[in-house]
């Protein structure tokens, strides 16, 4: 994969540097948030699951184990360092694959995925509308996407958005619930609902 711009290269470098420590216990709070969202998904054995911005592949391994390896479990990330760790951590698991790619350019065929997860990654996407269009392309009919991220719905979360943007060049922006509904619609996805996971985090859900 060739990264098309400075923003993508900065993101890849940032997460490469964090790959060795991303499974440390200090990040257990992130697994807890992921579990809260995964508990909402009606998984079925034999189905297909995609994690956008999969990092070291924890969610991919969790779902593969949950379904006893019966299905297809895919992780996509911009960081080669993260994917190296993901591959090592998933050794021995059946039907698990990791791909170095952008969310805007998925190496997956049309109508192939039942459920897509994206946690704490969407605010890094320079072109979120393209990422959602790609997600729509690879989703099966009535397949769903589940995006967990900070929602800039009020004064405090908007202030946090500005604070992060001033300190992290890889950050693009957090989106409000209304903006997420609009982004889903522009990608041809039907907005289902948004559910508070833990302030200011929400899970935004849409269906093809």
Q: Three-class SS of residue 74? A: strand
Number of H helices, E strands in the chain: 7, 7
Query: What's the mean pLDDT in 3-9?
Result: 79
Six-digit token pair at 182? 């609009």
CATH fold for domain 6-207: Rossmann fold (3.40.50)
What's the pTM? 0.95
Q: Phi then psi for 51, rounded to 5 degrees?
A: -110, 115
How confident is the model over 147-159, as pLDDT tens digits?
999 999 999 999 9
Which of these, 119, 118, 126, lies nearest to 165 by C-alpha position? Answer: 126
How confident is the model over 14-38, as pLDDT tens digits?
888 988 999 888 889 999 999 999 9
Query: What's the mean pLDDT in 156-181?
Result: 95
Would you kindly state where each structural domain of the chain is located, as residue ranges?
A: 6-207
Residue 157: how many CB atoms within 10 A of its CB?
A: 17
């Amino acid at each position: 994969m060739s990264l098309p711009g400075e923003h993508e290269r900065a993101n890849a470098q940032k997460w490469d540097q964090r790959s060795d420590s991303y499974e440390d216990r200090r990040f257990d709070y992130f697994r807890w948030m992921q579990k809260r969202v995964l508990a909402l998904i009606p998984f079925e054995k034999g189905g297909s699951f995609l994690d956008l911005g999969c990092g070291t592949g924890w969610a991919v391994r969790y779902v593969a184990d949950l379904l006893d390896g019966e299905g297809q479990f895919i992780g996509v990330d911009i960081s080669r360092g993260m994917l190296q760790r993901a591959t090592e951590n998933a050794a021995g698991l059946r039907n698990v694959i990791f791909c170095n790619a952008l969310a805007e350019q998925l190496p997956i065929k049309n109508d192939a995925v039942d459920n897509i997860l994206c946690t704490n990654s969407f605010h890094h996407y320079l072109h979120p509308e393209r990422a959602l269009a790609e997600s729509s392309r690879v989703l099966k009919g009535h397949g769903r996407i589940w995006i967990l991220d900070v929602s800039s719905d009020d004064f405090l979360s908007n202030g946090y958005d500005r604070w992060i943007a001033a300190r992290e060049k890889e950050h693009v922006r957090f989106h409000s619930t209304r903006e997420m509904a609009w982004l889903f619609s522009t990608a041809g996805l039907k907005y289902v609902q948004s559910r508070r996971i833990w302030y200011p985090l929400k899970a935004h859900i849409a269906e093809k």
